[in-house]
Structures are given as C-alpha cells and as structure tokens.
Structure 1
Amino acid sequence: MGFILKFILSGIIAYVLTKVLPGAHLGSFVDALLLVVVLGLLNAVVKPILKLIGLPITILTLGLFLLVINAVIVLLADWILPGFKVDGFVAALIFSVVLTVATAIVDMIID
C-alpha cells in the first residue's frame, strides 16, 4: 500500500512542479505517472553508471557534481517521454532538486 501511495504522490508532485516551475512541461497526469516510472528506471540503471564515471569530478567538487548527474537524468527522461519537456539544463537542474526534496519529504512523512 505504501508503494502505491508513494507512486501516486510522486506523480502529483511532478505534475504540480511542472505547473509551478518555469521550464518544465507535462501534458497530463498520466504523463506525470509515466515520468515517475521513467525517472525510477533511469535512477536504478543509468545513475549508478554516471556516478561511477563521474566519481573523480564528484570528489573534486565535494559532491556537487551529483546535482549535474540528477539534471542529466531529467534530460534523459525528457528525451524518452514525448509528454514531458524541459527547456534546458538549468530548468532540469531546478526541477530535479525540487523534485528530490519534495519526494524526500513525502517519504519521511509516509514512513
């Protein structure tokens, strides 16, 4: 039950963020749910590879390069999903940071 609730709440958060933040656009709530699935898959498969490749830069920047990796994941989701568009790297960076913080808050409340 908790997984389904987190999934739906993450979709709601993503949908609301695209309406509030400039630079990120979603077509419908179904696109938001698809975005949550795609971001989850990209975070599970692609993100560990990018972290390993970018490990030296991450160490040099004291972890700030991880924000760039999150933005790249959002840009990959933009490329994969036709219903989700991000206007550029800065918009992807802002969207990824706010989405991460909001879903972390929801996870803390539900757990």
Structure 2
Amino acid sequence: MKLIVRWMLLAAALLLVANLYGGVEVKSFGTALIAALVIGLFNALLRPILVLLTLPVTLLTVGLFLFVINAAMFYAAASVLGDFNVTGFGAALIGSLIYSLCSMVIDVAMERMFPDR
C-alpha cells in the first residue's frame, strides 16, 4: 500500500513540476504515472552505475555533479516516453531539482502516514 501511495504522489509531483515550469510537459496523469515509474527505475538501475563511474568528478565538484546525474535520469526518462517532454538539458536540471524537492516532502509525509513499527 505504501508503495502505491508513494507512486501516486510522485506522479502528482511530476504534474506539479509541469505546471510550475514550462520546460517540462506531461500530457496526463496516466503519463505522469508511467514517467514516475520510469524515473524510479532509471534511478534504481542506472544511477548507481553513473555515480560510481563519475566518482572522481563528483568528489572534485564536492557532490554538485550529482545534480547533473539526476538531470540526466530525468532527461533520459523524457527521451523514452512520448507524452513526457523536456525541452533541453537545462530544463531537465531545473525539473529534476523541483521533482527532487517534491520527493523529499513526499518521503517525510510518507514516514508520518506510515510509521515503521
């Protein structure tokens, strides 16, 4: 149940990103659900590999390069899906920042809604 609620909230967050920032476009809530799933899969499967491969650059930039990796995952998800569009890498960077902030708020809310025993 917790996973489904989090998925729905992340899809709503993606719609919020599209409404707040013009560089990100999501056609419908169904598209947002699929996009949230794809972003989650990319973050779970590809992001750890990219973080490991770019560790020297990440250390050199004191962790700021992780924002670029997040933007790359956001942009890659938009490239795979037809109804989820990002106008460019700069838009992906801003969109991923807003989406990450929403995700942090959702995680805090989920901890309060579904406390671990």
When normalised by structure 2's length, the TM-score is 0.92
Offset from partner CA, 1:7-57 (integer Å, 9 cap, x none): 111111101211221200011110000011000110011101111111000
| Structure 1 unpaired stretches of 5+ | none
RMSD: 0.8
| Structure 2 unpaired stretches of 5+ | 112-117
**Across the two proteins, how many residue pairs are aligned to each other?**
111
**Residue equivalent to 1:9:** 9
Runs of 4+ in 1 over 3 A off after TM superposition: none
Letter in 2 for 1:11: A
- SS for the counterpart of 1:91 is helix
- SS for the counterpart of 1:82 is coil
Distance 1:102 1:9 in 2: 9
% same residue: 38
- SS for the counterpart of 2:63 is coil
Give runs of aligned pairs for residues 13-92 of structure 1, distance below 5 A.
Answer: 13-92=13-92
How far 1:106 moved relative to its partner? 1.2
When normalised by structure 1's length, the TM-score is 0.96
Letter in 2 for 1:3: L
